[in-house]
Structure 1
Amino acid sequence: MRLKKKWGKAVLAGTALLTALSGLSLSAFAEGAKRHVEILRDTYGVPHVYANDRFGLYYGYGFALGQDRLFEMEMAKRTFSGRVSEVLGDSFLEHDKAVRATYWEPSLQKQYDALSKEDKAILDGYAAGMNAWIEKVKAQPNKLMPKQFIDFGFEPEEWTAMDVIKIYYGSMVVQFSDRTTEIENLAMLQALQAKHGKDKGMQIFNQLNFIHDSKAPTVISGDEFDWNKKTESLKAAALPSLDTLSATAASLQQASVNTNELLPTTAFRSMSNMMIVGKKKAENANAIIVNGPQFVHTNPSYVYSVGLHGAGFNVVGNAPMAAPIILFGHNDKIGWGATAGFGDTVDTFEEKLNPANPTQYEYNGKYVPMETYTETIAVKGKEPVSMEMSRTVHGIVMQTDKEKNIAYSRKRSWDGYELDSLFGWIGTTQASNYDEWSKQAERMAISISMYYGDKEGNIAYYFAGKQPQRNEQQDVRLPTPGTGSMDWKGVYPANANPQVLNPKQGYIVNWNNSPAKNYPSPDMYSFSWGAADRVHVLDSLITEKQKLSPDDMWDLIRKSSYVDVNAKFFLPYLKEATKGLPGHDELAKAAKLVEKWNTQSNDANKDNKYDSPGSLIMETWLTNMITRTLADDLPSEYFELFKSPGYPNAKAYSVNSTNIQQGTKVVYNALLGEKAGVPQTYDFFNGKAASQVVREALEDTVKQLKEAYGPDMNQWLKPVVPITFQDKNYKGIPQANPDEKVYNHQAMNRGTENNLIVFTKTGEIIGYEVTAPGQSGFVAPDGTKNKHYDDQLGMYEDFGKKRTWLTREEVEKHLESKEVLQY
């Protein structure tokens, strides 16, 4: 359903506005004057919107956003509503189908209809502001129409509140809280059991896809929050042990799964980090926040910067896909940030279909009908395509196998709470203290790690999301029988979620690691919280100094950006395995180069090669180590999912983030052996000593690098992988012209953008950010780019930052332009 209501047209301030108002009575003028919006842009082009009501405030937001990012947002709207093929053709039809399969239109509409008038005003105002700008563009296309529309051959379309909702839903809710690989996990388990037998196949599966590693580092220290103890106090089931998992696996079927459509080996490389210090560790400040959200590098930037002032708001910061929430920013009392949570809020239920009527499924002993409706997808140059949507008591049907009479539906703990989460999140930005902030944060049903700091030096962490209370016999990694016997018992209350205010250690650090002791990992084969975790890099940097200043905190970004996050865990094994070899031995020489290396993969001299051979030796050895450990035990199509060590790759779409991959974690646990936090019941080394396998992988490495780079090990220097700010969004949909890719010299393991918030001793809150390439993505019809198109590109590469201004006085001191809109 698309809302068709039009809103008022924006009118620029100045002579035209005065002329338009001159015929009004004094009372009418006064009434009209109340309904105006001011947009003040600072010297980096960031709009600060001033209005007296929510509609006007977000009207200004949408208007300014249209000026800066109209084509990007048009494609975001189409990306997340499944309407790309309407303008770009049938090559995007499968994308559109996949997107539409993620949302239930009647539910979103029902949630919108139930909103208060005040909350609706945010969504309606945002859409109306976009439409006001689009009217101006269509009135002056030769001047204002973004060149991308001209080149792609279509025009911007009118916006509705539902468009705003779907962008938020697709880019925030689905992106961060709808991850599951339970069907793929089942396919992998069955393939392993076909290759090795039932018991050995299960042993391997348990070590590949573990739900609990007792040695995994946590955001909250173990003595401050223990998930098992917390849930036991609520009389809920404790986490099942590996011995009791998969009790129902044998009864599950497997729908036809194309392994070529499984997640790529680089899945979950791009994730976010957070570093906060409070009074105990902050120097020359009460508290300091450094946030590094890691998204795909795109042009225009994935985030949009804005200030909102009035109608209960006084905030500045930025938001992914220009969401209605300022996700990373501050007001005049508190500051906040976020990273992905990765809580397991989703389960796949295997539904038994009625052989005589596949629109019915078995539930509690009888066949019941599914809810259904039809989606129609318009396709450029072709007939529309119909798509049947179905839903069981558990959720949307994602996949059906009619031959086996089964369907898989997706149950989400946040289903029906998407907009309550949105407005709770918005509410956190209006809070003035921890109690107000936490009350709003508890409304969050989706899985997000949320962070807080304030003028008094308080710091806090809250792991948001509705966590299901599952049946004790459920294997969370696999689909669950949908006949009713394995239904959830409910969800845990929000106050049971991992959380801490002013932790004893005086700081909070997160790089998407486990929130708390005994908290279960997500069900995904590509991501478990393990002992090998890159958060150790940040934790070590923070604990190196007793206190850290704002400059020290910002410099943590530079210090961590080039670190090989695998080196800490594997260097000791290389050293031990080559101990005793003569100095002239090639393996000893290679290991010595790695040992002497500072673990930084950097190109300080800008010769387009990484400075040390240790970088390439470590990457090549780890690749070979994974192969020697896992390749013979996994069916080849599944080994593909575990073989990547996750290093920057020039061929990869996004190269910003060097994460420790799941295959790497499995190998590290195998090396730990009995000391591992995951029981090692299957021997991946096939009876060999671990040190022998390490040496064999090193032999492979030396041979390969000699062939590729020659006999001189000092010349084993890997070519630098640059950062490409892509012309497509993270879903692969064009959001700029192909020739609009821009580049930085070298991949950096840091936020795609970064924020610094300093709570000073004097009570002032000072904010900084860098959001490359720039604030604006506007390219005029003649090809001229806005002055803020890429003016933060060099700043980002050099670890620079710019101020974010909050008070009107500050904004006016750094003013570039002023515009007044009437609505």
Structure 2
Amino acid sequence: MSYEKENLIAALRDKSTNIDNKKSPLFANYKQYLNSKLPEELLKNHPKGGGARVIRDRFGIPHIFAENEKDLWFACGYAQAQDRLWQLDYRHRSVTGKLAEVTGEDNLHSDNQSRTIGFERAAKLELKTLDDRSASSIDSYTRGVNAWIDTAIDKLPVEFDVLDYEPLAWSSTATLAVMREFWWSLTGRLQQIVGPERVIRHTSPELAAKFLQPEAAEYIVPDQSCPAELHPEGGGDDGTGSNNWIVGAPKSTTGLPLLASDPHWPIHFPDLWYEQHLVGPEIDCIGAAYAGAPPVIFGRTRHATWARTNNSSSTRDLYHEQVDPNNPSKYIDGIQSVPFEIIKEQIAVKGSGLSELKIKLTTRGPIVNEFIPSVDPDGDSPISLKWIGHERIDDMKSLFGLNHAQSADEIKDILSTWRLSVWNAIYADDNGNYGYQMSGNIPKRERKTRGTRDASAVEDQWIGYSDTDALPGLHNPKRGWTGSANNTPAPRSLLGEITGAYADGYRFRRIRQVLSENNTVSPETVKGLQWDNLDPRAVELKSKLIHLLKSAGGTGSLYAAQSLESWNCRFEGTSSAPAIWEALWKRLVIEIGNKVLAQPAANLMAESAGGFVRSLLLGKENPADYEINLKSIVNKAANEAITYLKKTFGPDIENWGWTQAHTVKLVHPAAKTQAMKQLFNLGPFSCPGGGGTVNNRRPVETANGFENASGVSYRLFVDMSEPNIAWGATLAGQSGQPGSVNYDDRVMETLNNQYHPLLMDEKDINKEAAHEFFAPKDLQD
């Protein structure tokens, strides 16, 4: 390492270094240092490869042209590693429980959790049973990643220099484990079991039923033959949500289907998704991949398109195990006493040596008490986790199949074998076919509950699965459109015993309104809906809440009522009303949740009282029945909301506008010092949207204002009348390298309602080309 490089790295590690001055010599040195690590610089003196041709367009998207699929997937790994090597290694270490080795104690708990849940164990099981195409493709991808590591080993991305380590060698197991952890992040969410169980244990069945349902139910697939349900499935919406929808050919102004999808996620930087274009003898597919795995997760081919968002139907259970009273090293399984399987592991912790981990396994799965809130305040017996992700799921076979699909029927056939995570999938083709399909495997149990289960109870055991073909779907529906917003998939008449923490129906209500109000729908309307900032909850409840505020009569209540009266219910612009509504609604819900629920249920579930508050405002519940002084509570909530806003933004209400009150920051996980934050982090940026809008941007209160905690991670738009293009929008940029122009060139895209083209024709790609190279050939037989 050169003396100059050592000094630059030391300065980045130094907490006192400040490089915010873009004109300083130090900043110029950093730009030169970061630029030296970019793939185009490293390839200047590198021999030309004999494999796939890769053209990067000005948005950083690699268009990979290969004569065979081995070279194609090799180049895919090579390109992903060029842009996201540190992210790949971070994900690799995260899923295998090796982050603490390079970051220290801060990540020891997450390492323990990853090893206990067993993403790598599940990946090794999956690897043994991979179909030939998946195995070959992932092997080639793995060799591509490792080939780039070898090429860049002396010029690794800056994070490796600062943290002083080298990347792990990639493997097929790493790819499978990375994907398994991603599916877990969508289907795990164990607090959504513990919270409902506390409600079930510590409230009446009637009150529990009111809390464990969505605030305003809307069904993705309605059952016209059934009356409205008293207690629809769902509940537990935290303001984070994804959307997708598709307009069919008869309703589309272009004559063919229009697809829009925007999965939402906790703010993730570098970008969660990786755009790529894959062209081979039997494949021409473009869209968003998950960095660390080769296939496109959602996108299009020449003749078909598909997209997915999360469906929270329960694919996991927590079981209370009974320890053998005569031998604590055993547990009761049926009528037998059997020993816990023990796995002992050592975790290297930077600066602290080795940490010992003891994993206990039952026939259902690992003991996970350490990673969940207690169910019983006095302590729990061992609680085990059973999850479909511990089984073979064949996810890669399905994903590779989708990348080759050329019709809606092919997509439907592939979805019929999908297991995990459960998807709200939409699809279309250029023959005008389109639809929605809830896709995945849902365990069957005799007893229906949102809470925990008894390991010794027969009615709580899994007795097979409901597969995709048995789940709700719509194919070419007559209404001319379909879509989803994490909301309840269908009434109980269609769901049967399936349950889950489905989202409130407000976003879906807005989607339905926009797509149904005219006989035809244009591409502009479909795209425009992705950044729609109207809050349907406010539309429904604003007048009721204003009336309550006025009747309560407190200073804060009257102040809030006056500000809300002229509000158009949109989370945007310079109006102070969105900030007032957000601060007030949160406090009102929590206050009433704490009043109605007993502890310890309120501890986890008070924030889920939105549906109950709605019922109070609409007159469907009587406050006196619950000894609620509604006027007193709303006065308290309003006063506290106004106090927060004045303290945070100042006494002048003109400074409370949503444009300045709500911001988003993109924070790099390696940025710990001031200098690293200045080089790596982006923002804050003004952020339109809210927790209940289709442009879903969940705000959380901080000392500096409302920060966007979760929101759009990617946007896709496809018009099937355009055979050679799709449109995407990313959170920041394609590259994970801070020195790249594509690190932050798209950072305003989702904030300013913009898209960039996903080009498929080579002539169009060449016009936008920024860099071209030939990847090495995959020489492995």
TM-score category, normalised to shorter length: 0.7 to 0.9
Query: Cα distance, 1:803 vs. partner?
Result: 0.7
Alpha-carbon distance in 2 for matches of 1:594, 1:225: 38
Alpha-carbon distance in 2 for matches of 1:404, 1:354: 17
TM-score when normalising by structure 1? 0.77
Contact kept in structure 1, 2:246 and 2:257, CA below 8 Å: yes
Asked if residue 769 in structure 1 is aligned to residue 728 in structure 2, the reply is yes
For 1:815, the equivalent position in structure 2 comes to 769
C-alpha deviations, 1:332-352, integer Å up to 9, x for none?
Answer: 010111101101111112221
Amino acid of the structure 1 residue aligned with 2:307? G
Higher deviation after alignment, 73-82 or 117-126: 117-126
Asked if residue 665 in structure 1 is aligned to residue 611 in structure 2, the reply is yes
Q: Are residues 580 and 640 of structure 1, via their aligned partners in 2, closer, same or farther at CA, if it must alter by over 3 Å?
A: closer
Q: Are residues 598 and 125 of structure 1, via their aligned partners in 2, closer, same or farther at CA, if it must alter by over 3 Å?
A: same
Amino acid of the structure 2 residue aligned with 1:161? S
For 1:416, the equivalent position in structure 2 comes to 391
3-state SS of paired residue (1:406): coil
Query: Cα distance, 1:287 vs. partner?
Result: 1.1
For 1:390, the equivalent position in structure 2 comes to 360
Q: Are residues 766 and 367 of structure 1, via their aligned partners in 2, closer, same or farther at CA, if it must alter by over 3 Å?
A: same
Alpha-carbon distance in 1 for matches of 2:645, 2:743: 41
Q: Are residues 225 and 435 of structure 1, via their aligned partners in 2, closer, same or farther at CA, if it must alter by over 3 Å?
A: farther
Asked if residue 429 in structure 1 is aligned to residue 430 in structure 2, the reply is no
Alpha-carbon distance in 1 for matches of 2:262, 2:185: 17
Contact kept in structure 2, 1:42 and 1:811, CA below 8 Å: yes
Query: Cα distance, 1:112 vs. partner?
Result: 0.5
Q: Are residues 417 and 504 of structure 1, via their aligned partners in 2, closer, same or farther at CA, if it must alter by over 3 Å?
A: farther
Higher deviation after alignment, 318-327 or 505-514: 318-327
Q: Are residues 64 and 717 of structure 1, via their aligned partners in 2, closer, same or farther at CA, if it must alter by over 3 Å?
A: closer
Asked if residue 184 in structure 1 is aligned to residue 194 in structure 2, the reply is yes
Amino acid of the structure 1 residue aligned with 2:513? S
Query: Cα distance, 1:517 vs. partner?
Result: 1.8
State which of 465, 473, 477 in structure 2 corresponds to 1:503.
477
Query: Cα distance, 1:623 vs. partner?
Result: 3.0
Query: Cα distance, 1:638 vs. partner?
Result: 5.1
Amino acid of the structure 2 residue aligned with 1:822? K
For 1:462, the equivalent position in structure 2 comes to 437
State which of 550, 572, 583 in structure 2 corresponds to 1:620.
583
Higher deviation after alignment, 716-725 or 423-432: 716-725
C-alpha deviations, 1:36-85, integer Å up to 9, x for none?
Answer: 22212122121112223333222111111111111111111111221101
Alignment of 1:590-601 (within 5 A): 590-601=560-571
Contact kept in structure 2, 1:350 and 1:480, CA below 8 Å: yes
Alignment of 1:794-813 (within 5 A): 794-813=748-767
Higher deviation after alignment, 436-445 or 663-672: 663-672
For 2:212, the equivalent position in structure 1 comes to 209
State which of 483, 502, 513 in structure 2 corresponds to 1:540.
513
Aligned residues between the structures: 705
3-state SS of paired residue (2:249): coil
Higher deviation after alignment, 439-448 or 612-621: 612-621
For 1:677, the equivalent position in structure 2 comes to none
Amino acid of the structure 1 residue aligned with 2:316? V
- C-alpha RMSD of the superposition: 3.9
Asked if residue 721 in structure 1 is aligned to residue 662 in structure 2, the reply is yes
Q: Are residues 794 and 620 of structure 1, via their aligned partners in 2, closer, same or farther at CA, if it must alter by over 3 Å?
A: closer
Query: Cα distance, 1:778 vs. partner?
Result: 1.8
Query: Cα distance, 1:169 vs. partner?
Result: 0.9
Asked if residue 752 in structure 1 is aligned to residue 713 in structure 2, the reply is yes
Alignment of 1:58-69 (within 5 A): 58-69=73-84
Alignment of 1:542-621 (within 5 A): 542-558=515-531, 560=532, 562-577=533-548, 590-603=560-573, 611-621=574-584
3-state SS of paired residue (1:602): coil
Contact kept in structure 1, 2:67 and 2:280, CA below 8 Å: yes
3-state SS of paired residue (1:822): coil
Alpha-carbon distance in 1 for matches of 2:717, 2:95: 30
Alpha-carbon distance in 2 for matches of 1:225, 1:459: 25
Query: Cα distance, 1:411 vs. partner?
Result: 1.8
For 1:221, the equivalent position in structure 2 comes to 222
Alpha-carbon distance in 2 for matches of 1:640, 1:350: 21
Asked if residue 81 in structure 1 is aligned to residue 40 in structure 2, the reply is no
Higher deviation after alignment, 787-796 or 454-463: 787-796
Query: Cα distance, 1:330 vs. partner?
Result: 0.4
Contact kept in structure 2, 1:79 and 1:733, CA below 8 Å: no
C-alpha deviations, 1:611-664, integer Å up to 9, x for none?
Answer: 1232233223323422442223345775454555xxxxxxxxxxxxxxxxx332
C-alpha deviations, 1:234-274, integer Å up to 9, x for none?
Answer: xxxxx9999xxxxxxxxxxxxxxxxxxxxxx9984432111
Contact kept in structure 2, 1:425 and 1:444, CA below 8 Å: no
Alpha-carbon distance in 2 for matches of 1:566, 1:241: 18
Amino acid of the structure 2 residue aligned with 1:336? W
C-alpha deviations, 1:360-392, integer Å up to 9, x for none?
Answer: 321221212344433332222444333233332
State which of 117, 125, 128 in structure 2 corresponds to 1:110.
125
Alpha-carbon distance in 2 for matches of 1:716, 1:91: 36
Query: Cα distance, 1:765 vs. partner?
Result: 4.7
Contact kept in structure 2, 1:448 and 1:464, CA below 8 Å: yes
C-alpha deviations, 1:699-754, integer Å up to 9, x for none?
Answer: 7666876888888866764642211112129xx999x9433111252224432221
C-alpha deviations, 1:1-22, integer Å up to 9, x for none?
Answer: xxxxxxxxx9x9999858x9xx
State which of 150, 156, 162 in structure 1 corresponds to 2:173.
162
Alpha-carbon distance in 2 for matches of 1:510, 1:797: 22
Query: Cα distance, 1:501 vs. partner?
Result: 0.7
Alpha-carbon distance in 1 for matches of 2:717, 2:768: 19
C-alpha deviations, 1:476-528, integer Å up to 9, x for none?
Answer: 4222333545322221243111111112221122221111122489877xx45
C-alpha deviations, 1:403-437, integer Å up to 9, x for none?
Answer: 9893222222453133x123213212211112211
For 1:252, the equivalent position in structure 2 comes to none
Alpha-carbon distance in 2 for matches of 1:114, 1:342: 27
Unaligned stretches of 5+ residues in structure 2: 1-39, 690-694, 696-711
Q: Are residues 697 and 507 of structure 1, via their aligned partners in 2, closer, same or farther at CA, if it must alter by over 3 Å?
A: same
C-alpha deviations, 1:97-137, integer Å up to 9, x for none?
Answer: 01111126444323212223322122211221111011111
Amino acid of the structure 2 residue aligned with 1:743? G
Amino acid of the structure 2 residue aligned with 1:738? K
For 2:143, the equivalent position in structure 1 comes to 128
Asked if residue 738 in structure 1 is aligned to residue 712 in structure 2, the reply is no
Q: Are residues 358 and 692 of structure 1, via their aligned partners in 2, closer, same or farther at CA, if it must alter by over 3 Å?
A: closer
Alpha-carbon distance in 2 for matches of 1:69, 1:377: 25
Q: Are residues 667 and 463 of structure 1, via their aligned partners in 2, closer, same or farther at CA, if it must alter by over 3 Å?
A: same
Alpha-carbon distance in 1 for matches of 2:330, 2:132: 39
Unaligned stretches of 5+ residues in structure 1: 1-9, 21-32, 194-199, 229-238, 243-264, 604-610, 645-661, 675-679, 780-784
Alpha-carbon distance in 1 for matches of 2:637, 2:60: 52
Alignment of 1:252-271 (within 5 A): 268-271=238-241
Amino acid of the structure 2 residue aligned with 1:125? S
Q: Are residues 563 and 321 of structure 1, via their aligned partners in 2, closer, same or farther at CA, if it must alter by over 3 Å?
A: farther
Q: Are residues 544 and 368 of structure 1, via their aligned partners in 2, closer, same or farther at CA, if it must alter by over 3 Å?
A: same
For 1:364, the equivalent position in structure 2 comes to 334
Percent identity between matched residues is 21
3-state SS of paired residue (1:429): helix
Q: Are residues 13 and 387 of structure 1, via their aligned partners in 2, closer, same or farther at CA, if it must alter by over 3 Å?
A: closer
Query: Cα distance, 1:452 vs. partner?
Result: 0.4
TM-score when normalising by structure 2? 0.81
3-state SS of paired residue (2:479): coil
Alpha-carbon distance in 2 for matches of 1:380, 1:48: 39
